[in-house]
Amino acid sequence: MRKPFVSLSLVLAAAFAAALAACSKPVPPLKIAIHSAPLGVDPHLHNESLTSAVLANVYDGLTELDHHFGIRAALAAGWSNPDEKTWVFRIRPAVAFHDGRPLTAGDVVFSLERARHHPESGLASYLVEVESVREIDPLTVEVRTRRPFAPLLAKLTPVYIVPRGAPSRIEDPVGTGPYRLVQSGGEFVRMVPAERDWRGGHAGAPLTFVVEPRPDERLRLLLSGEVDVAADLDEIAVKVLEKVECCSGLVRPGSAVEYLHLGASDPRFDDRRVRRALHLALARPALVARTLEGWGEAASQLASPGTVGFAPTIRAPVRDVPEARRLLAEAGHPRGFSVTLDFREDRRAEEIQRQLAEAGIEVTLRPGAWADVLGRVRSGEAHFYYGAFTADTGDAGDILDSALHTPEPAAGLGVDNHFGYSSPDVDRLLLAARNAPTLPDRRQALQRVMKQVMADLPMIPLVVPHDLYVVRRDVRWTPRLDGRVLAADLARAPEGRP
């Protein structure tokens, strides 16, 4: 799944409902600074991290991830696996949507089918192995897969449940989550506590996401007390925070992989020698040192360590500029060539530009607002793109099935393959991974896919940035591996305590 680097996934709503419930006086809104507004409020149309994370305050899935990418129940009270292709989910009783309608198996069936078959679905690749979904009784749903599919429970976590009969494009979201959306768009996304919360929470602080694309301005908002949490501050903020008392910066190993995507529609990038030259022209340790101020590590592949499918035997290459120039000359570019690089405006691409110039590739930087850049990527206008991926469910298939499989819209494969990459070998290996009967078998199968992808180099992995979290000191929080912040992990300190 294509994701901007969002180290803090922003699922903060339910947490403060519980933390502030005992307070008898009115509480001010909790304010979180984020780099962009969500792309929409329909949970099935956008396979994009920030959008999904904001909407996670409004919606729930059947399952969810714990601190360490383990699976736990959400709207499903439990499940059974009567045979290798059948899953039976028991829906929690007495759960209601924000408008009072009770949650039923019919809503679950409708939501899964909508995510599978909606012509604009961004989530179809997660459900590609689902063959059928049916209601057994008002609180029981059966899901059958085409073949034994070990990661199904994880693949259900990003698929939020909406009421049966929801319109083809949801503009007034109704979910089962702890918050209800009251404003989305522009500089603010505002939410208020929902009257009904099946998790047992109570009405707490209203929630406001403050959209600010500039990391230095997000830091200013945090230091001035105008926001309580700031997501995606750059590494300079960590040094600033060492000198102030109001806020804390937390640094943890990250799971996002930053990369360069090469469009097959550009004939230069269609030549594997050019792709290999780019790969060898980059000094990843220097990218970590100069772009990330040391907060990260070199990326060897399109998955971070710990992800199912990460192949430990793949190593990042040592920079070799003479060999890069030789490959370019062999491919017909003895003097190199010029290209425009698209990227989100709060990324720093100058070091990439400098390194590639030393190999003869002149890069013009074209930063832009996230929605604009993503629009150029999806329309095919962008041929050279600097972005980031995270495997949302901890499974590299999230990226590979969506972004690198040959597009098969009817099957839900390749829904994020906007750069025209197609490899029969990769498609075959991905099918074998989906056929893997157990998670260890799937891990090995996805490692074989990763090795083939890194031989083809449709994308050039760069770095795995550390996650940087910055909060006011009155916020108590234990970070999660997936970067999300949930009720059990977050609370305000008692008044008067640091």
pLDDT class of 332 with cuts at 50, 70, 90: very high
Copy the structure tokens of residue 156: 């259900």
What is the spatial distance between Cα 246 and Cα 473, in angstroms, rounded to a whole number? 6
Nearest to 436 by CA among 393, 403, 389, 397: 397
Residue 259 to residues 47, 193, 278, Cα–Cα distance (Å): 18, 38, 12
Q: Which long-range contacts (CB under 8 A, 24 or more apart) does 129-138 make?
A: 129/155, 129/434, 131/85, 133/108, 133/109, 134/109, 135/105, 135/106, 135/108, 135/109, 136/88, 136/105, 137/105, 138/104, 138/105, 138/106
Per-residue pLDDT of 397-435, as tens digits, reads: 999 999 999 999 888 899 899 888 999 999 999 999 998
Question: Residue 335: what pLDDT?
Answer: 95
Name residue 44's amino acid. Answer: H
Contact 141, 134 (CB under 8 A): yes
Look at residue 98 and tell me whether its pLDDT is greater than 90: yes
Look at residue 26 and tell me whether its pLDDT is greater than 80: no
The average pLDDT across 270-275 equals: 96
What is the DSSP code (8-state) at residue 487?
Answer: G
Look at residue 308 and tell me whether its pLDDT is greater than 70: yes
Look at residue 96 and tell me whether its pLDDT is greater than 70: yes
What is the spatial distance between Cα 314 and Cα 299, in angstroms, rounded to a whole number? 10
What is the spatial distance between Cα 144 and Cα 444, in angstroms, rounded to a whole number? 24
Question: Residue 6: what pLDDT?
Answer: 39
Per-residue pLDDT of 196-239, as tens digits, reads: 888 876 556 788 899 999 888 888 898 888 988 887 777 677 67
pLDDT class of 103 with cuts at 50, 70, 90: very high
Query: Residue 143: in which H helix or E strand, if any?
Result: strand 140-145
- Three-state DSSP at 76 gives strand
DSSP 286-332: HHHHHHSTT-EEE--SSS-TTSBT--TT--PPPP-HHHHHHHHHHTT
Copy the structure tokens of residue 416: 């994020």
Question: Residue 197: what pLDDT?
Answer: 83
The average pLDDT across 180-196 equals: 88
Name residue 270's amino acid. Answer: D
Kindly report the average pLDDT of the chain as a whole number. 87
Question: Residue 410: what pLDDT?
Answer: 82
Look at residue 13 and tell me whether its pLDDT is greater than 90: no
Residue 213: phi, psi to the nearest 5? -70, -20
Q: What is the pTM of this model?
A: 0.82
269-302 CB burial, b ≥16 within 10 A, e <16: bebebbbbbbbbbbbbeebbeebbeebbbbbbbb
Share of the chain above pLDDT 90, in %: 60
Helices (H), 407-438: 424-435
Copy the structure tokens of residue 201: 């929470």
Contact 92, 76 (CB under 8 A): yes
Q: Are strands 467-472 and 361-368 parallel, antiparallel or unpaired?
A: unpaired
Contact 470, 229 (CB under 8 A): yes
Tokens 């009904």 found at: 196
pLDDT class of 479 with cuts at 50, 70, 90: low
Q: Are strands 361-368 and 490-492 parallel, antiparallel or unpaired?
A: unpaired
The average pLDDT across 253-262 equals: 90
DSSP 203-255: ----EEEEE---HHHHHHHHHTTS-SEEES--HHHHHHHTT-SSEEEEEE---
